Structure 1
C-alpha cells in the first residue's frame, strides 16, 4: 500500500488548485495539455504548455459549454483529451438538467492541429455494440491502444438490490463507437472499495514492461477515496477477465502526514526527461460540510512513478 510518508510543508502545494479528475496528455511534438472537472461542472477547459510544470500558470480556455437543457446540460465530469490518428477527442460524462443523475459518456471531436483552437464537434453519446451498455449511470470513460487495437474502459452502475459501480471494457470500432459487447472487468469486491458507496471508477492506463497497468478509484469521494490496481500482460486477451489480476489492497490511500485526503481519479503522463508521472486529485482536509461531490477543494497533484521489481511505487514531487 502506497503512502507518501513525508511531512506536510509549505512547499507541499497543489500542482493546479480546484481542479478534480485531472488529465494530462503530451502531444508527439512535446506540447502538454491539461483538462479536469471544474467545481461548477458546467464546461470543459484546456491548458497547454511546452513543459509539464508550465501547465501550472498556463492560461485556461473554455472549449465547450454545457447545454441549457436536454443531454449534456448538467454534471459535466472528468474530461479526458486523447489524440487518435491525427484527430483530437474529448471523452466526458454528463447528465441532463431535467435529470442530473442520468449520467452518460459523450464524445467531442476536433480536427485542428491544436485542440485549444478547435472547433469542437459534438458526436453525441458513445455508441454501444449491445443493448445493455450505457443504460444506467455511466462515467469516467478512458481509451487506450494495444497491438494496434483501441480499447475503451468505463464505470457503470448496475442494480442488484444495491446499486454498485463496476468497471467494463470493450474493443472500439471507431473513436466514438464500440465494436464488442461490454466485459465486466472489476467489481467493488473488498471492504476498502465499499465505504459508503460500492464503487470502482476513474480507470487510468499506463503500459510498461510488457504489462498494462490500470489504476482505478474506489469508495465514496471523501477521505475514504483511494486507488486500486488491475494489471494484465499486454500479449494476453484483454477482453478476457481472467487475463487481469486485481491487487488485494489499495495502492494509494489518504495520508494525513502528507496532508492529502482522498487521493484518486488519476492519469499518467511523462515529463520532459521521460520520467513517468501520475497526476491525481486530493483534498487538504477531511472535514467536509455537505456532499463531498460539491466541495470545490479537490486539487490536482503530481507524483513520480518508479518501478521496483516491476511494481509501481509513487514518489512525492515537491513543487
Structure 2
C-alpha cells in the first residue's frame, strides 16, 4: 500500500486509454475513454490519489451527426505554449470506422470550467499527401529541444489493414510542420494478434534518453506494451534514431489477474516518482466484442530505473 492506493490493481473502474497530467501548479487532471464513447470528461485533484473519487465533468459531448459523432476515443490533455489542448479521435455515425484525430482548445486557464473551442481535424503539413487520410487515432504530443512533436497511429493497406506509428514535427497545436515519418510497424509476433497493431504512443524522458511506449496486438488478453528508445540530441524524424524493444515491456500476467495491459500514459506522484498509468482487464475471457466491453480499468505502476538509465516496468 502506498499513498492510499495499490499499484497494479483496478483503481478507476471502466476507464480505458487513461491519461493523467500534472500541471506546473501541482494540480492533477485525469481523462480517458468512457464506456459510451460519447464525450470527453475531466477530473481534477490536488493529489494523484484524489483523482479516484474526484467529480467527473463532461467538458465536451459528441456531435449528433457527421464527424465526431461516434467512437470518441483516447483523449489526452496537453499544455502547449500557455494553453490547454485536448487531442482525441472520433468517427462518423454514418461511417463508424471513419476515425480521425481532432483538437480542442481551452478558452481559459481552467480546463474544467472554461469553454472549449473545436479546432477541427488535425491538419497535415501542406506537402503531406498521406497523413490522416485513413483510420487515424491515439495522438500524443511532446516537446524536445524547443520543438513539439506529434505521434499517432494510422492504418494502411487492404483487408484488415495494419496500424503503424508515425511522427512529425508540429507547426502549431493543430497542424503538422513536416511530412509523416514511419516510426514503427508491427514487426514481431507480439504485435500481430487477430489484428496487426501498433498504437497508443506515450513518451517519458529520463536523463539523455527518450522512451516511447506503445500498445500492440488486438485489445484482448494479447494486448501488450512495447517500447522505442532514442536520445534527446538525436534526429527524431530519422527512423534509424529509434530502437524498438525485441519483446514487450509489459504484458498479461495471469497470476496477478492482469490481462491485456496497454494504452498507457506517464505522470509523477507528489514525490516526483515516475508513474505509468495504463488500463487492463481482470478477466481472461471477454463477453462480447472486446471493443465494447467496458471492463478495462485504469491502473497505476511505479516505475523504477536501472543503473544504465532504463525504465523497469514491474507488477511487483
- Please, what TM-score do these two structures have when normalized by structure 1? 0.95
Match of 1:195 in 2: 193
List aligned pairs for 1:1-319, cutoff 5 A.
13-129=9-125, 130-159=128-157, 162-308=160-306, 309-316=308-315
Q: Is the 8 A contact 2:267 2:274 kept in 1?
A: yes
Question: What's the C-alpha RMSD, in Å, of the aligned pairs?
Answer: 1.3
CA drift at 1:132: 1.0
Q: Equivalents in 1 of 2:291, 2:159: separation in Å?
A: 24
Q: Equivalents in 2 of 1:248, 1:11: separation in Å?
A: 26
Q: Equivalents in 1 of 2:90, 2:72: separation in Å?
A: 5
**1:183-203, CA deviations, whole angstroms, 9 ceiling, x for partnerless residues?**
000000000100110000000
CA drift at 1:289: 1.9
Structure 1 residues without counterparts, runs of 5 or longer? 1-9
Q: Is the 8 A contact 2:265 2:278 kept in 1?
A: yes
**1:113-151, CA deviations, whole angstroms, 9 ceiling, x for partnerless residues?**
110012000000000011110000000000000000000
CA drift at 1:13: 3.8
Match of 1:7 in 2: none
Relative to structure 1, the CA distance from residue 163 to residue 12 in structure 2 (aligned partners, 3 Å threshold; closer, same or farther) is closer
Relative to structure 1, the CA distance from residue 142 to residue 283 in structure 2 (aligned partners, 3 Å threshold; closer, same or farther) is same
CA drift at 1:104: 0.2
Q: Equivalents in 1 of 2:47, 2:250: separation in Å?
A: 26
Q: Equivalents in 1 of 2:268, 2:214: separation in Å?
A: 19
Number of aligned residue pairs: give it.
Answer: 308
1:267 aligns to what SS in structure 2? Answer: strand
**1:45-95, CA deviations, whole angstroms, 9 ceiling, x for partnerless residues?**
000000000001100000000000001000000000000021100000000
Q: Is the 8 A contact 1:199 1:219 kept in 2?
A: yes
Q: Equivalents in 2 of 1:162, 1:108: separation in Å?
A: 30
Structure 2 residues without counterparts, runs of 5 or longer? 1-5
Relative to structure 1, the CA distance from residue 56 to residue 98 in structure 2 (aligned partners, 3 Å threshold; closer, same or farther) is same
CA drift at 1:11: 8.9
CA drift at 1:284: 0.3
User: Which runs of 4 or more aligned residues in structure 1 lie more than 4 Å from their structure 2 counterparts after TM superposition?
Assistant: none
1:257 aligns to what SS in structure 2? Answer: helix
1:242 aligns to what SS in structure 2? Answer: helix
